[in-house]
Amino acid sequence: MQTWRDSRTKATDAAESLRAALAALGIPEAAWSGIRPTVTYNGLAYVHLGMLPADVVEQMAEAMRVTGTSAH
């Protein structure tokens, strides 16, 4: 049970981090309200993104490209 709790915390933290990043990009909450933390039956932490509008995904991709190029 502790493994599941730890994984739930990890998934929740990751989901919150993504929500905060999307909010910082100026993307309205309605566009990413489907993001949910989840844990598999064997305790693996995941974040379900749900359906995201194509323009939001483009903004996310652009932000990742900018971050990726500035890291080099």
User: pLDDT of the chain along its 72 residues, tens only?
Assistant: 899 999 999 999 999 999 999 999 999 999 999 999 999 999 999 999 999 999 999 999 999 998 777 765
Number of domains composing the chain: 1
Task: Spell out the SS3 assignment of 40-67.
Answer: CCCCCEEEECCCCCHHHHHHHHHHHHHH
Domain of residue 25, residue span: 2-70
CA–CA separation, 29 and 23 (whole Å): 7
Q: How far is CA 30 from the centre of its chain?
A: 14
